[in-house]
Amino acid sequence: MESLWMDFANSMWRDWKGGGPSVDRLEQQEWQQSFTAKMKYAVNQPDRTELERARLLRDRLLRYAENLAAGVLLKDSDIEYLNEVMAGGTVTRRLMAAGSALRMELEPAGSGWGQVLADVAADFARMLSEQDISRIRCCDNPDCRWVFYDDTRSRTKRYCDDKLCGNLMKVRRHRARRKAQAHKEENN
Ligand SMILES: [Zn+2]
C-alpha cells in the first residue's frame, strides 16, 4: 500500500546494502518535483524556511512511525503539532459521484508548500484515525528502516521488500552462522 505520507517519510534514503552514505532526497529538486507532481495545485521550489518545515515534518513522521511500530502512541504535543501543520492548508468539501454511489471528498483549496505539508500531515492523520496503526512497520534491515504498512494476513512482514532487504538479511544471517561455525571448529 502506497500513501502520500509514507512516500514523504521515505524521502530519507539510506544505503540499504550498508556502508554507503544516506541521501536526503527532500533536498533534491528532482525529488521535490516528482513528489509535488502528484498534487493538483501549483507548487514551486521550496524556499529555505519551507524546506526546513518540510524536513521537520519528515523527521517527525519517521519518529512517529518508529514509535508506532514499537507500540508507542503519539503524545498530545505530537497531535498538536500535526494540527498546526494541517492548519497551513485549506480544503473544500465536495460531493462526488462514484459509480452509482456518492462520496464526500475534501479537496485541497490552497497551493504551495504549506498546502503540501498540510496534505501530507492529513494523510498521516487519516491513517491514524481510519486504519490499523499496529500494522505500521520500519524495515528490519538496520541499514534501511524504510517505513511501510504491513497488509499481510499474518501480520509478519518484517522487510520493506522480501527480495531486496529480506534476501540481504538472510545472506547476512547465513554468513554469520558460517563464521561462528568456522570459529568453533578452529578452537576445537
Ligand atoms: Zn528495507
CA of 84 to the centre of ligand 1 (A): 31
- Residue in 148, 147, 168 with CA at minimum distance from that of residue 16: 168
pLDDT of residue 123: 97
Summarize pLDDT for 131-177 with one digit per residue, the tens: 999 999 999 999 999 999 999 999 999 999 999 999 999 999 999 89
Ligand 1 centroid distance, CA of 109 (Å): 35
- pLDDT surpassing 60 at residue 46: yes
Q: Give me the mean pLDDT over the 173-187 stretch.
A: 87
Residues 106 and 89: their CA atoms lie apart, in Å, by 12
pLDDT tens per residue across span 58-70: 999 999 999 999 9
Q: Would you place residue 1 in the very low, low, confident or very high pLDDT band (cuts 50, 70, 90)?
A: low
CB contact at 8 A, 107 and 89 = no
Distance, in Å, from the CA atom of 181 to the CA atom of 110, rounded to the nearest integer, reads 62
* Cα of 148 from ligand 1 centre, angstroms: 9
Domains by residue range for the chain, with CATH: 4-160 (1.10.3300.10)
The rounded Å distance from CA 24 to ligand 1 centre is 16
Q: How far apart are CA 99 and CA 152, in angstroms?
A: 29
CA 20 to ligand 1 center in whole angstroms = 15
Digit-coded pLDDT (tens) for 84-138? 999 999 999 999 998 999 999 999 999 999 999 999 999 999 999 999 999 999 9
Q: Could you tell me the end-to-end alpha-carbon distance of the chain, in angstroms, rounded to an integer?
A: 51
Closest listed residue to residue 113, CA positions, set 6, 2, 8, 14: 8
pLDDT band for 11, please (50, 70, 90 cuts).
Answer: very high
| Distance between Cα 159 and ligand 1 center (Å) | 5
| HSE-CB for 175 with a 13 A CA cutoff | 6
Contacts of 136 (CB under 8 A, 6+ apart): 65, 68, 69, 147, 148, 149, 150
Q: What residue type is 140 in one-letter code?
A: D
